[in-house]
Structure 1
Amino acid sequence: MCGRFVLFTTGDDLVAEVATLPGVDSVQAPDGTPPARYNIAPTNQVPLIRIAEHEALIDAARWGLLPSWKKDDTGPPLFNARGETVAEKPSFRSAFKSRRGLMVLDGYYEWKQTESGKQPYYVRPEEGLLYAAALWDTGLDRLSTTMVTTEATDNMAWLHHRLPLFLARDEIEQWASGTPEEAMELLHPSRVADTFQWNEAAREVGNVRNDYAELISP
């Protein structure tokens, strides 16, 4: 599960990082990249990476998929898609076939119930960025995206039983440009999570209006 995340690698730094991905020869960000954010929530605009013919395109997308058949944006936002059913569920199956991309994160938040209430944790890799398997669509004439999730890895199950499908660098091209059958091969708990680090985050992150660097390491 992932309902809040952090992205402070932006601008030229983000473009440069995306340019190093396997299968990417050039990067275009026609509308620029977003400012640093420390409390990104569903329905916010996030950078979506789509790769085609060795070019990566970075565009702003609504976090919460709007399938082409949707008539309005009411109802809970589809910000996560379960990997176990993503190929069959009506909300996601069309996007899974031909509209797969990447959401990019520096880290994400997860909450754990304690005696004193819910404690948020900030989870991050040892180094570099996280690339989450994503789907996209253009319902309601808006670019939108959702993040694929799987069962948690053994080392992260203490925090939550679900985990975003973070792709290893050697899996990215297969996910973004492969056939649906090749993408299906990647729908398993992420091996990237083996390197995760975490720390307690500020409880103020629970309010989406709070968005500042001190949230990740109070």
Structure 2
Amino acid sequence: MCGRYSLTTPLDALRSLFDFESLLNLPPRYNIAPTQEAAVVRTSDVGGRELAMLRWGLIPSWSKEASMGAKLINARSETVAEKPSFREAFRSRRCLIPADGFYEWRMEEGRKQPFRIGMKGGIPFAFAGLWEQWTAKAASTGIAEGESVETFTILTTPANDKLRPIHARMPVILAPETFDPWLDAANDPHSLLSLLGPYPVAPMAFYRVGTAVNNVRNDDPSCIAPLTAIAG
């Protein structure tokens, strides 16, 4: 499961990696949590890539309630092609979720210890994601009747050897050379399943952080401050 992540990388560096067009102001985020808005890269209506702000927690187009999104922050890569909640989005609404770290918790001495996980050197990367547009047929959870909301989910896969001692699963991380095939809606989605395995161990690193990240109201540099040396 991936339930928190960070994106503190400057916009120019993200634009260089993801090759998108955007006029958005993107302040650093240290503790992105479900149901919040976050940056997503997807194919625009006129071609090319765009950066958009979507709500984290996918609401299927057929859902009667917006609250369903809070339960669908992750999609298991093993079942994404068949599960009704995700299969339509997997077919044609795939996206990239920029990040530069994510958090997982492990029990240590009777309490949950948070870890920040990412790439060596703190470089940004992309989660594999799906997005959906949902229109309220009636007023629902602060959304007016007829209002449309765009939402996303993050795909997960079994953890690699480095991360397995912390958590059994990890988000799917896509290498830059796979961005184009992942985003191309014309591709057969089943041909993309091979991209959804664990990310290689060698480029990744993690370290313990303090408990500030436990509270979704905390969204400042204290969330990413190391308690221990980074483990390569």
TM-score normalized with structure 1 length: 0.90
> Structure 1: which 5+ residue stretches go unaligned?
20-26
- 1:68-117 CA-to-partner distances (Å, cap 9, x unmatched) read 11122124331100001000000000000011010010101110011140
Partner of 1:22: none
Q: Which runs of 4+ in 1 moved over 6 A?
A: none
Q: Counterparts of 1:172 and 1:28 in 2: how far apart (Å)?
A: 15
Q: Is the 8 A contact 1:33 1:47 kept in 2?
A: no
Q: Which moved more, 1:103-112 or 1:50-59?
A: 50-59
State the shift of 1:182 in Å: 2.1
Partner of 2:214: 206
In the TM superposition, what whole-angstrom CA distance separates every residue of 1:149-187 from its partner, at most 9, and x where no partner exists? 001111210110001010112222221113212212212
Equivalent pairs: percent with the same residue? 38
- The answer to whether structure 1 residue 130 and structure 2 residue 138 are counterparts is no
Partner of 1:83: 77
Match of 2:173 in 1: 166
What is the number of residues matched between the two proteins?
209
After TM superposition, give the deviation of residue 204 of structure 1 in Å: 1.6
Asked if the contact 1:150–1:189 (Cα under 8 Å) also holds between the matched residues in 2, the reply is yes
Once the two structures are superposed, what CA deviation does each residue of 1:106-161 show, in whole Å capped at 9, x if it has no partner?
A: 10111001114000001110142110100000012111100000011112101100
SS in 2 for 1:185: helix
TM-score between both structures, scaled by the size of structure 2: 0.85
Distance, in Å, in 2 between the alignment partners of 1:62 and 1:95 is 15
Instruction: Report if aligned partners of 1:199, 1:217 keep a CA contact under 8 Å in 2.
Output: no
Instruction: Tell me, in whole angstroms, the C-alpha distance in 1 between the residues paired with 2:95 and 2:176.
Output: 14
Take 2:202 and 2:47, find their aligned partners in 1: how far apart are those partners?
A: 29
Q: Determine which of 107, 114, 121 is the counterpart of 1:113.
A: 107
Report if the CA contact (8 A) 1:48-1:102 is conserved.
Answer: yes
Q: Secondary structure at the match of 1:143?
A: strand
Q: Report what 2:62 is aligned to.
A: 69
Question: How big is the shift at 1:51?
Answer: 2.9
Q: Name whichever of 43-52 and 160-169 sits farther off.
A: 43-52
2:4–2:103 Cα contact (<8 Å) kept: yes
**Are 1:44 and 2:36 counterparts?**
yes
In structure 2, how many angstroms separate the alpha carbons of the residues matched to 1:16 and 1:189?
25
The separation in 2 between residues aligned to 1:72 and 1:152, in whole angstroms, is 32
SS at match of 1:74: helix
Instruction: Tell me, in whole angstroms, the C-alpha distance in 1 between the residues paired with 2:161 and 2:205.
Output: 14
* C-alpha distance in 2 between matches for 1:197 and 1:185: 24
Tell me which structure has the larger Cα radius of gyration. Answer: 2
Q: Indicate if the aligned counterparts of 2:4 and 2:31 stay in contact, CA closer than 8 A.
A: yes
* Distance across 2 between alignment mates of 1:158 and 1:214: 24
| 2:14–2:124 contact (8 Å) kept in structure 1 | no
Q: Secondary structure of 1:159's match?
A: coil
Match of 1:60 among 35, 42, 53: 53
Distance (Å, rounded) in 1 between the aligned partners of 2:205 and 2:191: 30
Q: Which runs of 5+ in 2 are unaligned?
A: 136-147, 227-232
Query: Is contact 2:212–2:222 with CA below 8 Å preserved after alignment?
Result: no
CA distance in 1, matches of 2:22, 2:71: 25
Deviation at 1:34, TM superposition (A): 2.5
